[in-house]
Amino acid sequence: MKPTHLRLRRACAAAAATGVLIAAAAAGSASGASGAGRSTPASAAAATPTPTAPTPSPDADTGFTPLTPAVAAQLDAAVRRVMREAQVPGVTVGLWAPGKGSYVRSFGVADKATGAPMAPDLHVRIGSETKTFTVTALLQLVDQGKVGLDDHIGAYVTGVPNGDRITLRELAGMRSGLFNYSMDGDFITRLEADPEKYVSPRQLLDYSFKHPVQFEPGAEFDYSNTNLILLGLVVEKITGRPLHEVITKDVLGPAGLRSTVFPTSPALPVPYAHGYTDQTASGKVVDSTRWNPSWAWAAGEMVSDLQDLRSWARTLATGTLLKPATQAERLKTTPMDIPGAGYGLGIFDVQGWIGHNGSIPGYEVLPVYLPSAQATMVILLNTDSQYKGQEPSTLFGEAVTTIVTPDHVYPGHKPVAPKTG
């Protein structure tokens, strides 16, 4: 059976079913970049350890393992293993924790045709991480008293099944019951046939609304991109401005994000990594860099880079742009479909890591923040092709956190055993 996989991946890829380097933050920390899977040390100290050195115990107060040269070597080996197993062209991994150091490495290639190396300053499409920006824009309007989380979507958008009963809170929390348009067979067929074609938000809703609702509002958790298309339309109606302008001015500006964009065309800001996907009619891997992301819109159209995602992960988790009470509402999670994971309002908490992942054909990102250690992890890669039914970003997140935060392993499921022989 051919999977209906031309879609933005589920919010928590943890449930697979579902140019400038950072200086070391402290003595002994590791920072560097690499190409073609070779890690170039930032200092002689970073070049001395062997990958077989045991990982130091995590700090008792924060649960975060200091990023010593020995730990950096272990991380290098773990990242290379996942790359090899999952056949990932290029990946960048960033870790930062106060007093524990930093680790920034790029491995592999950003462009398979030219062999150009992956690098920390490259832009990538961020898929469902876009949801965090759309919901933040909505919550800012809540703070301004222009909309209420318990307003019904039917008051803003006509023709929504159960629109007089589904609240904006339920849309943001993935509990609306509306069918996910990106799982519709016609949508998938048309996107496979012409992935460079523009698709409007209303067309996306049409794919969803031809299906019956899946359950009563609020009754279950079910990740649906349809929810975010509706919230994007709400933001536009209340502000009277296009969503990309609202997010650029009201979210990106105050957050100080200068390399993040909500594009209005398939073009990517330079420099950028090429993206590769097997989400094609034939199943063959192709370069999807110039595919039109309009079909993801408020659910997944945006572009960013490592440093902006590092900053945004902390801003998102700590609620810098929102009133404390609103942030508290955002962080109220309901159970997802894996132990130790909950979904709030356009945000998740997975084993203590707060944030959101993103996947769109050719790219995946995982920017998350661990409040107990004030630590940030950002992983970005230029493929979304799954390995044994799991998102590659999840595999990297698991490999990294097993080493640096063994009490907070993302996503908390049993690790995939390394291949032998």
Please spell the DSSP secondary structure of 388-419, one letter per residue.
TTB-HHHHHHHHHHHHH-TTS-SS-SPPPPPP
What tens digit of pLDDT does each residue of 364-384 get?
A: 999 999 999 999 999 999 999
pLDDT of residue 58: 81
In the structure encoding, which two tokens stand for residue 123, read together? 């832009």
The distance of Cα 112 from the centroid of its chain, to the nearest Å, equals 23
What tens digit of pLDDT does each residue of 10-41 get?
A: 333 333 333 222 222 222 334 333 333 333 32
d(CA 355, CA 339): 17
pTM of the model: 0.88
What tens digit of pLDDT does each residue of 165-216 get?
A: 999 999 999 999 999 999 999 999 999 999 999 999 999 999 999 999 999 9
pLDDT of residue 421: 35
CA distances to 117, 126, 421 from 362, rounded to whole Å, are 16, 10, 30
What tens digit of pLDDT does each residue of 255-299 get?
A: 999 999 999 999 999 999 999 999 999 999 999 999 999 999 999
- Residue 312 pLDDT grade (very low, low, confident, very high; cuts 50, 70, 90): very high
Is the pLDDT assigned to residue 64 strictly greater than 60?
A: yes
In the structure encoding, which two tokens stand for residue 13, read together? 């890829």
d(CA 106, CA 331): 32
pLDDT of residue 329: 98
| Better-scored residue on pLDDT, 37 or 353 | 353
pLDDT of residue 54: 61
Quote the mean pLDDT of the chain.
Answer: 87
pLDDT of residue 60: 63
pLDDT of residue 14: 36
- What burial letters (b/e) apply to 383-412, b meaning 16+ CB within 10 Å? bbbbbeebbbbbbbbbbbbbbbbeebbbbb
- Residue 335 pLDDT grade (very low, low, confident, very high; cuts 50, 70, 90): very high
pLDDT of residue 415: 43
Closest by CA to 201, choosing from 223, 229, 240, is 229
- Residue 157 pLDDT grade (very low, low, confident, very high; cuts 50, 70, 90): very high
Closest by CA to 166, choosing from 181, 186, 151, is 151
pLDDT of residue 340: 85
CA distances to 55, 64, 389 from 162, rounded to whole Å, are 53, 46, 33
| Better-scored residue on pLDDT, 35 or 302 | 302
8-12, 21-25, 94-98, 150-154: range with lowest mean pLDDT: 21-25
pLDDT of residue 2: 26
Please state, as a whole number, how many other Cβ atoms lie within 10 Å of the Cβ of residue 374. Answer: 17
132-146, 208-222, 228-242, 327-341: range with lowest mean pLDDT: 327-341
74-83, 146-155, 401-410, 412-421: range with lowest mean pLDDT: 412-421
